Structure 1
Amino acid sequence: MNHDPKASGKARTGVAGLDDILVGGLAPGHLFLLEGSPGTGKTTVALSFLLEGARLGEQGLYITLSETERELRDGARSHGWTIPDEVAVFELVPPESLLDAAQQQSLLYSSDLELGEATRQIFETFERVQPARVVLDSLSEIRLLAQSSLRYRRQILALKHYFARFGATVLLLDDLTSDALDKTVHSVAHGVIRLEELAPEYGAERRRLRVSKYRGQAFRGGFHDFAIKHGGVHVFPRLVAAEHRSGFDRHRMTSDIAELDALLGGGIEQGSSALVLGPAGTGKSTFALQFVAAAVERGEKAAIFVFDEELGLLFSRTRSMGFDLEQMRDSGALHIEQVDAAELSPGEFAHRVRQRVDIAQAKTVVIDSLNGYQAAMPDENALILHVHELLQYLNRQGATTFLTVAQHGLVGDMKSPVDITYLADTVILLRYFEATGQVRRAVSVIKKRTGAHEETIREYRISGNGLSLGKPLVGFQGVLRGVPTLVGNAAPLLSMPSAT
């Protein structure tokens, strides 16, 4: 979604991805709840909200009940921020009179006095600062002071009506430490945003957020990945391919290898996806790189996202086959990136791919491999949905996508870790087979939505000259099973290098 916060009159949060999810930002003059366990990034989002207001010339007020002002400013500095004069920080501390032993012997509960005194100080500070944006951190302290759910609800309602009289946009933070099941504020707040932190068995923590309520306002539902980095919170809205369309002229992308293009019925159509399947070592990456090299040669831009192989080894290995990836990268025609599945969420990965297509105008995208992408996913069903949306988005932007999948086994019956053959427009199948006492490789196209293709099986070789394909193997049967039998006059096999 692309929305103009000025046109909608929204109060931007300062977190670009979050503003996109909220369709421009927070409705001004209303009270919102931002909840999440400690460490999920609530304070960072709240500071971004106030700093964005200060940038727009709006006065802000940060009321902290659980964190000292020094801790708050230190946290801001860790992101490279300096809290400006337009953002007042009010650290609410209990009056010393309430800590006096004689005072605690009063017939009145000390919590009654503390809650009333806290509310009075909040109102006095608000009237003195007269802010347009307010952050109250956190509700757990007020909930403990109120002691009962009735008094707590009445206190929240009092705060809501007081701030509403002055047209302030209020962000209440709740760390869920006193009562995670209490939904009192959910019914009172105009909108509710929940932050979550997940701890996988291996790798860095994963964070996600969800907008569970926004009165009278459409928003992007579901969970959205986000990360806390230097400079603040970075939110990666869930990709919805149907929202992105672009016009382009479809044409066939060739590989510059006549036999491979013939096998593919003339090439692969722009704005389609191709899946390269095969066991380890069959050259799945090489087939994808052949199309990348051809695209760069035509003057187009390409992007490669590598999950499985170290870049230095990839550069050295492919250079010996005639693919100078470093030169392509240095010329600006190729973006190549090593992806660490243990440190990257699927949402952030999709965001990076989108950047290369939207900003750098890459028209050929390689994801090598889907096995590594799967490692970034908590379950297989979610992986299918992520890949579906990503492929649909890339297709609609006119980008041609190549995905590789390593199948289990070497010969015979192959098993894939995940079946996405029905998602891809073209499926290229690679196999080992035995012939004349040697292990050889065969390629076939088993699916192509966008046109006709050869139904033959061709042998191929990977050498210092790159990729080369032979004639259709018409005289053999059982090539894809790994042990073919001769059934007629066999077409000559490709010559193999002699032993030295």
Structure 2
Amino acid sequence: MSVESAREPTGIDGLDAILGGGLLTGQNALVRGPPGVGKTVFGLHFLAACGDDETSLYINLGEPTSYVERTAEQFDLDSPSLRFLELAPTAEAFAADETYSVFAAAEVDGPSLVSEIRDAVAEHEPDRVVIDPITEFRYLTTDERQFRSQILGLLDFLRDAGATVLMASQSAPDEPDTDLRFMTDVIIDLDRRRDTLTVDVPKFRGPSPTRGPHTYEITAAGVDVWPRLRPDVAESDFPDERVSSGVPELDKLLCGGLERGTVTFFSGPTGAGKTTTSMQFVKEAAGRGTHSVIFSFEESERTMLRRSKALNIGLGEMIERGNVEIVEVRPGEYTADQVTSMLRSAVEEEDAGVVLLDGFQGFQQNLRGFDDHRGPVDYLVSIGRYLRERGVTTLVTNEVHDITGEFRVTEESTSNLADNIVFLRYLEYGGSMNKVVGVLKMRTSDFEDTLRRIEFTEYGVTVGEPLTGLTGILTGTPRFDDRGDSS
């Protein structure tokens, strides 16, 4: 393998996925961001990812080495190959008459920072080097030109020594690092947006990284990065087939069922049966051996299991057989990128053929990481496109607030995202409240343009014959049509 194509994993799987496998061997990368975003932990991950026959060197110009060692132990990143060089600047280092350039160390009387770096590199022959923070070198120079010369000389020296380098930079309005960004091969930007940590790679000398920003989290196990879902994957080759509901009358409405690789919205007011109807497709798919995943944004897994048992759907048994998985998404628990990473894992690693996103309103409200440039609808577009290309049948439940009155499919103007729309509606008839189901559109096939009564009992989902003798059903106040009788 050539040096140009060799990769050095960063030790953070999600970041490696963004970079296309890691840094190129011999590159230097600038990890920049405000205090508290985890620059040191990123660096320790990078050093701990050394191979068995490699050595790493942490050049510390900021915090005491004992602090960095405790941090490494805390995150289980204290690799036996890790070496430290503490060079925290002293008050004397700021004196104007003791400044020096990287390759002029021999001309300086007494010990020098540069000679210590050169000695440490000669002694340990590190394959990976972290300099934290690189911005401390500013205090060893008299002007920007000398600072630039020192950094370029240091990077050339480390590259000639065969090291891949990661440098930390404290970015702040009063401490700009624009010059460093021009000098480095890779820029990794860390930031905090409201209650979410983000990472982006705006510069990479080599193959283009995955565009961000992406979200990440620092836990007791270290850094977890969740790459943003980009649906620009090659379309999978999958057969033209339909996913049945297992309810013959409902399948008749859909002219045989839902086509594989489509997105279907189940729309209606609260309690109309959106989740139960969509779960009927999950049940039938599981019975045919298709793995399904339910992302529940509004109900707990316990509630969903109890309800499915009462309606003879039996999700619990499907979960025990390994055909169904429920992911409960509590408010504020996950970022949108984290959920899409779990979704991608379910599809690519577990071969999920059906995905149910239960509660689009909960999807909008419960997840973190949305911003002014990329909101919930944008994420749903990416999810839908990705799942279509993978041949996954996607089900989305969406609530409208009006129980009766003016007919409305969605509250958020998202109906254009759906290939199919199945709506459920309340109607008052004969002094009692009834429910009807109908199909508003199917993008890839024909469908039945009538409405049918739908019921949910302990025996399951029951759908009746077409209601051909009533008009005004969509208003919630039907009346007999003089041209026919109700069915």
Q: Paired residue for 1:427?
A: 421
Q: How far did 1:133 drift?
A: 1.0
Q: How far apart in 1 are the matches of 2:442 and 2:373? A: 25
Q: Paired residue for 2:72?
A: 76
Q: How far did 1:369 drift?
A: 1.2
Q: How far did 1:258 drift?
A: 0.9
Q: How far did 1:339 drift?
A: 0.8
Q: How far did 1:379 drift?
A: 4.8
1:243 aligns with 2:236: no
Q: How far apart in 1 are the matches of 2:4 and 2:238? A: 30
List structure 1 segments (4+ residues) > 4 angstroms apart after TM superposition: 4-7, 113-116
Q: How far did 1:295 drift?
A: 1.0
1:385 aligns with 2:382: no
TM-score, scaled relative to structure 1: 0.89
Structure 2: which amino acid aligns with 1:396? E
CA contact (8 A) 1:65 1:141 kept: yes
Q: 1:456 is matched with which residue: 434, 450, 461? A: 450
Q: Paired residue for 2:438?
A: 444
Q: Paired residue for 1:171?
A: 166
SS in 2 for 1:225: strand
Q: How far did 1:144 drift?
A: 4.2
Q: Report 1:128-277 matches (<5 A).
A: 128-146=123-141, 148-177=143-172, 179-199=174-194, 205-277=195-267
SS in 1 for 2:417: coil
Q: 1:482 is matched with which residue: 470, 476, 487? A: 476
Q: How far apart in 1 are the matches of 2:320 and 2:4? A: 41
Cα deviations by residue, 1:72-121 (Å, 9 ceiling, x for unpaired): 2222222233331x21112223469x39xxxx9xxx53773899833332
Q: How far did 1:333 drift?
A: 1.3
Q: How far apart in 1 are the matches of 2:16 and 2:143? A: 35
Q: How far did 1:11 drift?
A: 1.5
TM-score, scaled relative to structure 2: 0.91
Percent sequence identity over aligned pairs: 31
1:295 aligns with 2:291: no
Q: How far did 1:365 drift?
A: 1.0
Q: 2:29 is matched with which residue: 2, 27, 32? A: 32
Q: Paired residue for 1:20?
A: 17
Q: 1:190 to 1:163 in 2, by over 3 A?
A: same
Structure 2: which amino acid aligns with 1:459? R
Q: How far did 1:177 drift?
A: 4.6
CA contact (8 A) 1:407 1:416 kept: yes
CA contact (8 A) 2:100 2:140 kept: no
Cα deviations by residue, 1:309-346 (Å, 9 ceiling, x for unpaired): 12222222221111222221122111111012412111
Q: How far apart in 2 are the matches of 1:219 and 1:322? A: 48
Q: Paired residue for 1:109?
A: 96
CA contact (8 A) 1:59 1:130 kept: yes
1:41 aligns with 2:38: yes
Q: 2:49 is matched with which residue: 52, 65, 72? A: 52
CA RMSD of aligned residues (A): 2.5
Q: How far did 1:420 drift?
A: 2.3
Structure 1: which amino acid aligns with 2:82? V
Q: How far apart in 1 are the matches of 2:69 and 2:485? A: 78
Q: How far apart in 2 are the matches of 1:398 and 1:247? A: 8
SS in 1 for 2:454: strand
- Listed as ranges, the gaps of 5+ residues in structure 2 are 106-111
CA contact (8 A) 1:140 1:178 kept: no
Q: How far did 1:232 drift?
A: 2.4
Q: Paired residue for 1:280?
A: 270
CA contact (8 A) 2:11 2:45 kept: yes
- Listed as ranges, the gaps of 5+ residues in structure 1 are 200-204, 493-500
